[in-house]
Amino acid sequence: MAQPSASDRRQSVRAGVVWDGVRRLLEADGSEHARIVDIGGGTGGFAVPLAELGHSVQVIDPSPDALASLDRRARERGVADQVTGQQGDLSDLATLVDEADLVLCHGVLEMVDDPAAALSAIAGVLRPGGHLSLLVAQRHAAVIARAMAGHFQAARELLDDEVDAGATSRGGQRFTHDQLVDLLEAAGLQASAVQAVRVFADLVHGSLLDLEPGATAALVELERAVATRPEYLPLAAQLHVIAAR
């Protein structure tokens, strides 16, 4: 059996906590055939494994190349009948989706001009009792990352800028836990769980994962161990929030 590539090993560290949270949610709901919408789902990193669990997944993504890769991956894994791809973005949600049990919005909210309107659009397609899996970049960790890179003025500006003027930059908007809770509540969604994601993963040099036997598995377990500890939330590069309608 081929060994995972260095890229795959690093991705397993970054996505492990989020995948655990999504899987626990589906198991708790007891739904074996959930209707899932993955906004910005790209090539199917979440969609295809969820389809393999028996769920129906609709991926909405603006990139035709990503959707073509999604189709190939779904066919290769034998779940083409359970995965559909449609070109679009959050602004098209109301016209593309009738109703969903679960919406995945991972790494997308940062890039929209109006996060409040985007969350309201998501709430509009969720069935009563449905859930949102929201993954966003976190402000506090971005301040630390900029300072560690020697960009001290940029770190200070981000620290003091409550509305994050960097929203239009490549990195997009960054949120604090309290900002997310307020935005979700305004959209009629209630946060039920928050996880710290990538507390250590971005601080560990890639060569350690590539060269040290068992390092990837150990780091994944460490990330899982701190994911639900509130004292580590400010250090997380991303926050994973589960919210209910």
Instruction: State the pLDDT confidence band at 224, using cuts at 50, 70 and 90.
Output: very high
Confirm if 229 and 197 have CB atoms less than 8 A apart.
no
The residue assigned the tokens 């060994």 is: 3
* pLDDT at residue 159, rounded to an integer: 81
SS3 175: strand
The amino acid present at 164, given as its one-letter code, is: D
Mean pLDDT of the chain: 88
Confirm if 106 and 46 have CB atoms less than 8 A apart.
yes
Separation of alpha carbons 241 and 239, rounded Å: 6
Q: How many CA atoms lie within 13 A of 188 on its CB side?
A: 14
* pLDDT at residue 13, rounded to an integer: 67
* Domain presence at residue 83: no
Q: Is the pLDDT of residue 157 over 90?
A: no
Separation of alpha carbons 113 and 136, rounded Å: 14
* Domain presence at residue 212: no
* Domain presence at residue 177: yes
Mean pLDDT of the 8-19 span: 72
* Domain presence at residue 50: no
Mean pLDDT of the 128-148 span: 92
* Domain presence at residue 143: no
Q: Based on the structure, what is the number of domains in the chain? A: 1
Instruction: State the pLDDT confidence band at 201, using cuts at 50, 70 and 90.
Output: confident
- The lowest-confidence range among 12-26, 37-51, 113-127, 163-177 is 163-177
Q: Is the pLDDT of residue 10 over 50?
A: yes
Instruction: State the pLDDT confidence band at 71, using cuts at 50, 70 and 90.
Output: very high
- The lowest-confidence range among 2-6, 61-65, 74-78, 227-231 is 2-6
Strand boundaries in 77-180, DSSP class E: 83-87, 100-106, 126-137
* Percentage of residues of the chain with pLDDT beyond 70: 90
Confirm if 14 and 199 have CB atoms less than 8 A apart.
no
* pLDDT at residue 121, rounded to an integer: 96
The CATH number linked to 108 is 3.40.50.150
* pLDDT at residue 171, rounded to an integer: 60
Q: Is the pLDDT of residue 169 over 50?
A: no
Structural tokens at position 182 = 């307020």
Q: Give me the phi and psi of 65, to 5 degrees please.
A: -65, -40
Confirm if 59 and 96 have CB atoms less than 8 A apart.
no
* Domain presence at residue 216: no
Mean pLDDT of the 34-41 span: 97
Instruction: State the pLDDT confidence band at 166, using cuts at 50, 70 and 90.
Output: very low
* Domain presence at residue 207: no
* Domain presence at residue 183: yes
Residue 186 is part of which domain span?
17-40+89-137+172-201+225-244
Separation of alpha carbons 129 and 114, rounded Å: 24
The amino acid present at 108, given as its one-letter code, is: V
SS3 213: coil
